[in-house]
Structure 1
């Protein structure tokens, strides 16, 4: 799988300085997350990744087909992308630093999968209005059937830390998806959840301030 990335890494940064790995939303590209990080931690090191699916004739990129209702296929694709991202991080010799994944919308779901499947790589995750596809499938299975591949059975005394933010006016991510990701995260993570009354499927200054507090910046 081929990825286009923009990286900004200061060689003089301390070995304990955070490295952000970032994933944009549907129809956007890697510059979206760079702008967001500029409002959160502007001098930080980062790697911002472009989704491998090009929206021909529409512009922008995606991580998976947003029109698909095949949750299993979406999960499998995100798992495959995540495995390649982890291999790429390992190859850069950056894996000894604290790594935080940040994703918006589709990218938020990808960041969730990365944290759940690779808890040894990511120290924390910031999920901004994430979609969610670990819920009910066409066969009627619900949250009880969430994949055993998740880190649920690898819980340690120090669960992963996750920031989860949604807008109360978000109509892009259904309420049932928002509730389901909260339930799933509660099984293996320490979740700092926020809802912003006047925000839709977007981000806002208060959310950025809350993320900074979450990251102890």
Structure 2
């Protein structure tokens, strides 16, 4: 089950026309990215979701880890549909989302874009990658080229090299990409990422004035 956490100062987040959707990484929870949500202005309310797969060691995941960087497509498809079901049941019918995901959540952010791009205002993939299997909206995205942000560290040893190379090829051909590679950054998010994400959101999201 997807469980949400919203900004305490913005209890009507799910009634907004544009909502940032925060998607955590493997083994974390809906509270992991709340720090990002707390730094979004009231102009871009946020919702953080817990992934549906509970892990024995604690935390949650969007899909099982099989080959690192190359997950089985079917569990990813199922997780994607679970998120869209939550969106349909909890947000306004015509609301657009801004998926912001870290690691596995970054892949899920790209999945939302690759399945229903008309519902996505902009996409941010932080320390994540894209699925190798073709997705329903890929041909449309080649024409649309929506705004996307991809941030990763050059010292990240978690995301496998083939996944990084796949993402380097896919994102520029399907999106209008803002890409950043941070020297010395491992598999995490630091202030440099947040600062650049703020600039991206301010330019790409219709509400315009969001800052982190």
TM-score range (shorter-chain normalised) is 0.7 to 0.9
Higher CA-based Rg: 1
- 1:108 is displaced (CA, Å) by 0.5
- 1:89 is displaced (CA, Å) by 1.3
Inter-partner Cα distance in structure 1 for 2:190 and 2:68: 31
Match runs of 1:15-54 below 5 Å: 18-39=18-39, 41-43=40-42, 44-54=44-54
Structure 2 SS opposite 1:126: strand
Match of 1:205 among 171, 177, 191: 191
Match of residue 59 from structure 2: 60
TM norm structure 2: 0.83
TM norm structure 1: 0.82
Match of residue 205 from structure 2: none
Match of residue 179 from structure 2: 193
Contact in 1 for aligned 2:71/2:131 (Cα 8 Å): no
Structure 2 unmatched runs, 5+: 203-209
Match of residue 181 from structure 1: 167
Aligned residues: 200
CA-to-partner distance for each residue in 1:26-84, whole Å, 9 max, x for gaps?
Answer: 11100011122224x1534222111111111x211111112x12988632212222122
Contact in 1 for aligned 2:95/2:119 (Cα 8 Å): no
- Are residue 4 (structure 1) and residue 24 (structure 2) matched? no
CA-to-partner distance for each residue in 1:85-133, whole Å, 9 max, x for gaps?
Answer: 2122122242433410011001111111111111011111110000444
Structure 2 SS opposite 1:211: helix
- 1:19 is displaced (CA, Å) by 0.6
Match of residue 142 from structure 1: none
Match of residue 118 from structure 1: 116
Provide the aligned C-alpha RMSD in A.
2.5
Match of residue 157 from structure 2: 171
Inter-partner Cα distance in structure 1 for 2:150 and 2:13: 31
CA-to-partner distance for each residue in 1:130-168, whole Å, 9 max, x for gaps?
Answer: 04441xxxxxxxxxxx42x34222147642211000001
Structure 1 unmatched runs, 5+: 135-145
- Are residue 82 (structure 1) and residue 80 (structure 2) matched? yes
Inter-partner Cα distance in structure 2 for 1:91 and 1:196: 38
Contact in 2 for aligned 1:23/1:110 (Cα 8 Å): yes
CA-to-partner distance for each residue in 1:2-33, whole Å, 9 max, x for gaps?
Answer: 222223444499955x3111110111100011
